[in-house]
Structure 1
Amino acid sequence: MRYLPLTPSDRQAMLGVIGAKSIDDLFVDVPAQARLDGPIQGLPNHASEMAVERHFSELARKNMTASHNPFFLGAGAYKHHVPASVDHIIQRGEFLTAYTPYQPEIAQGTLQMLFEFQTQVARLFGCDVANASMYDGSTACWEAIGMAGRITKRTKALLSSGLHPHYVSVAKTMAQYTGDRLDTALPELSAQTDSARLLDVIDDDTSCVVVQYPDILGRIEDMSAIAAKAHAHGALLIAVVTEPVALGAIKAPGEMGADIVVGEGQSLGVGLQFGGPYVGLFACKEKFVRQMPGRLCGETVDADGKRGFVLTLSTREQHIRREKATSNICTNSGLCALAFSIHLTLLGEKGLRELASLNHALAVQAADRLSQIPGVELVNDSFFNEFTLHLPKEARPVVRALADRKILGGVSLGRLYPGADSLSNGLLVAVTETATSADVETFAAALQEILT
């Protein structure tokens, strides 16, 4: 239902049960400066449904959409072409209406789809087993850190400076309730990652090392040495992939020794959608499967020997004994996982490799063109479809000036790392198959004009 009415007495009774005096008590953890202290200015207290829809439609028309402008944003969410057949198939009734498949005899379609999804993710990541998905990449990252702590019985996690700052923020939020200690650092605007720092600080107290691949600046580095050092000290390597299309061109993290690989699956089958819903990916080595959060679908046979699918593993106690649960994730992003699986199936291995090759070629073209602008320097020695530029001035106002020209020209590092002066001139640029040569030239011409 779109609207659930409650009377004042209903609300008061509910508050009484949970021991709250007022609705405001439910929001005490939200900083005061982020809360409204009254009604939203400019909106009437009452309006008809039709009037409200008309008003919000007018507001929506002011958005600068990704579909109608040169678009070079990335930083964990990427604009790729999603075939029309993906949307057609996910809206079939047997998929769209399915919920948690506790009764396998009436949820075979959903269970088979999740089984196929798990197989695709495991192969993509180079791992033995994958779960039926998580909420998104950032929460999957934290769940991996928590899982490493349960396996190693340790609480110190080393986070690469190249890990997305939003993922770091989610991990910090959760760690304050679990006692985990997170060793973090700011990235440097250089072609080198902080692998040397990580190798120096891995010790016998380390539960895991978390490395993004490609990292937040688009840099790509072999993780084998970090994996070897971590394993020598009884720690795990967690790899984070925010752009799964990259794995059509670069080595899978599992092949470099990663014990747990997590990531964001939005790039395949799922639109940008103003930030969500997205789909978290989670895979690991088979020996750790019992500590993996979420649920796992498996293949079996029925009494007649016919192939069938069942819910094989889930985070057992979360349904009945929550204090014993290994994870607070008790469901999955089923519809987005389905879209991911359909898109990847339509591509196939050959199509994924071709898509990855196209992305990289267009990114190289854009990096070459943009770095020809006086004062603009390309930071990366290696990248897939995303790279970092060092501008001769602060990047945030440049991004705004580009937006005024109807160009969504990348993400300023000053926005991702507010207050970090050393990163303020950094501009993160993503180029996918949806960008044309004309888009690149429009972007380059506007950037040169703004910087002159």
Structure 2
Amino acid sequence: MRYLPLTDVDRQEMLGVIGAKSIDDLFVDVPKGALLKDLVPLPKAQGEIEVHRHLQRLAEKNTPAGRTAFFLGAGAYRHHVPASVDHLIQRSEFLTAYTPYQPEIAQGTLQALYEFQSQVAALLDMEVANASMYDGSTACAEAAMMAARVTKRKKIVFSGGVHPHYIDTARTACEALGLEIVTMPAAIDDEAAVTKELSADVAAVIVQSPNVFGTITDLTKIGDAAHGAGALMVATFTECISFGLVEPAGAYGADIVCGEGQSIGNALNFGGPYVGLFAVKEKYIRQMPGRVAGETLDADGKRGFVLTLSTREQHIRREKATSNICTNSGLCQLAWTIHMTLLGEKGLRQLATLNHEKTIALADALGKVKGVEVLTKRFFNEIAVKLTKPAQAIVDKLAEQGVIAGVAMSRLNPHAKMDNVLITCATEMNTDDDIAAYADALQGVLA
């Protein structure tokens, strides 16, 4: 049965309030060639069996990560997720990840949020974390807007090592607020270049380590320079497992740390859903987007959990809110928390070590291929390599041979003039045979 809650009178009244004559007026900015003139050409009806067969044929056109030698990175990482994670998130206590507005019936969800926040704060070496964001890119955009609120300044400077998608997302979100986005030229190892742009109107410098090229950077001097100019240092990341070995940005004095948590508990799923991590210094907590679950005592003196500091959110303050993150990535956050709990500190370090060892083997193997230059010198599990031919063409050819080689930099940033640069990644899921097959296939297409 169709759900039609509005009458024609209701629609006309709403259009009148916003000054539109018809619903078509709402789409005047859409190119006429992109507007449908008729209904979408779909079958009127099919039986369940026919629909299942059709969808199965469509699904078979995809290539799952486990079917090939897989070296994709650049913000999407293939890691092992224990079967217990999927089992636990499907328990009846967690059937919905909706916002726990009623603490008296949502203690399990609230405690999971509280534990997640504690784990994120510890992992990133920060004082306080929120209950998750949608993904790493939107978390980065929120960090830029938060920095502008804190400093009352209008300029955000991105280093050339920040993932281009994060920059684009921030630019889209900040444009409506009148914030200026300045981006340094793409650079494999030049995070410190952001300090050249520091001035009295800069709200924050945003850096990434490991950056999109895989380079690990000591952020201490950048943070000192930013603070000396009255700006904040925001550090973002795409691979959270790196902090099992790499010093997190909190140790370098970052004011805001944000990034992607997909690597832990959340398998690749053709683009999502993901989970954003966000942590700040405690003095900025009231400007932090999203919600915070807090621990308290009930009337009987027993430990309990509640949502705190949520009055800055859209569902309460509407247009005066500092954040519009009204529903977080609750189920992905829960999977992250369960997997992190299973790993523990020792397990995380072991997992990170495996990743680094595999990438050393990958860098060694590719470095021996004629026509390949390994560009990244200080890495965790991701490296940039320069080829003698355009990287995208090589990626396409290797895919035909069953090797997903990585991401061409020209795809991430067409303006970087790095057409021959390939971003490639190895994790604990890559075998020695995978690496050998990659090197052999690459040698063949470059010959």
TM over 0.5: yes
Q: 1:31 to 1:65 in 2, by over 3 A?
A: farther
SS at match of 1:77: coil
What runs of 5+ residues in structure 1 fail to find an aligned partner? none
Q: 1:31 to 1:379 in 2, by over 3 A?
A: farther
One-letter code of the match for 2:118? T
Q: Is the 8 A contact 1:133 1:280 kept in 2?
A: yes
One-letter code of the match for 1:62? K
Q: Is the 8 A contact 2:313 2:324 kept in 1?
A: no
Q: How far does the alpha carbon of each residue in 1:31-80 deviate from its partner, in whole angstroms, 9 at most, with x for none?
A: 66766666667x54543444233212111011111011110001111110
1:356 aligns with 2:355: no
CA distance in 2, matches of 1:323, 1:143: 16
CA distance in 1, matches of 2:28, 2:184: 30
Q: How far does the alpha carbon of each residue in 1:129-176 deviate from its partner, in whole angstroms, 9 at most, with x for none?
A: 000001111111011111111110001011111111111111111122
Match among 411, 419, 440 for residue 424 of structure 1: 419
CA distance in 1, matches of 2:128, 2:153: 24
1:309 aligns with 2:309: no
SS at match of 2:65: coil
Q: 1:61 to 1:14 in 2, by over 3 A?
A: farther
Q: Show the counterpart of 2:135.
A: 136
Q: Which region of structure 1 is more displaced relative to structure 2, 348-357 or 28-37?
A: 28-37
What runs of 5+ residues in structure 2 fail to find an aligned partner? none
Q: How far does the alpha carbon of each residue in 1:103-149 deviate from its partner, in whole angstroms, 9 at most, with x for none?
A: 11111100110000000000111100000001111111011111111
Q: Is the 8 A contact 2:407 2:423 kept in 1?
A: yes
TM-score by length of 1: 0.93
Q: Show the counterpart of 2:431.
A: 436
Q: Is the 8 A contact 2:191 2:217 kept in 1?
A: no
Q: How far does the alpha carbon of each residue in 1:344-380 deviate from its partner, in whole angstroms, 9 at most, with x for none?
A: 0000000000000000000010011011111100001
Q: 1:10 to 1:305 in 2, by over 3 A?
A: closer
Q: 1:87 to 1:37 in 2, by over 3 A?
A: same
CA distance in 1, matches of 2:378, 2:43: 53
CA distance in 2, matches of 1:434, 1:12: 57
Q: Is the 8 A contact 1:295 1:314 kept in 2?
A: yes
Match among 190, 204, 209 for residue 208 of structure 1: 204
Q: 1:33 to 1:313 in 2, by over 3 A?
A: farther
Q: Show the counterpart of 2:51.
A: 52
Q: Is the 8 A contact 1:76 1:264 kept in 2?
A: yes
Q: Which region of structure 1 is more displaced relative to structure 2, 147-156 or 178-187?
A: 178-187
Match among 282, 294, 310 for residue 298 of structure 1: 294
- 4+ residue stretches of structure 1 with deviation over 3 A? 9-18, 20-41, 43-50
Aligned residue pairs: how many? 443
Q: Show the counterpart of 2:112.
A: 113
- Output aligned runs, 1:53-452, within 5 Å: 53-188=52-187, 190=188, 192-195=189-192, 197-316=193-312, 318-420=314-416, 422-452=417-447
Distance apart, 1:12 and its partner CA: 5.4
CA distance in 2, matches of 1:415, 1:291: 35
CA distance in 1, matches of 2:280, 2:99: 23
Q: 1:162 to 1:11 in 2, by over 3 A?
A: farther
One-letter code of the match for 1:181? E
Q: Is the 8 A contact 1:160 1:209 kept in 2?
A: yes
SS at match of 1:209: strand
CA distance in 1, matches of 2:213, 2:319: 39
Q: 1:261 to 1:11 in 2, by over 3 A?
A: farther
Residue identity (%): 55
Q: Is the 8 A contact 2:313 2:321 kept in 1?
A: yes
SS at match of 1:99: coil
Q: How far does the alpha carbon of each residue in 1:219-251 deviate from its partner, in whole angstroms, 9 at most, with x for none?
A: 110111010011111110000011000000110
The Cα RMSD (Å) is 2.0
One-letter code of the match for 2:186? P
Q: Is the 8 A contact 2:79 2:263 kept in 1?
A: yes
CA distance in 2, matches of 1:265, 1:308: 27
Q: Is the 8 A contact 1:294 1:315 kept in 2?
A: no
SS at match of 2:428: coil
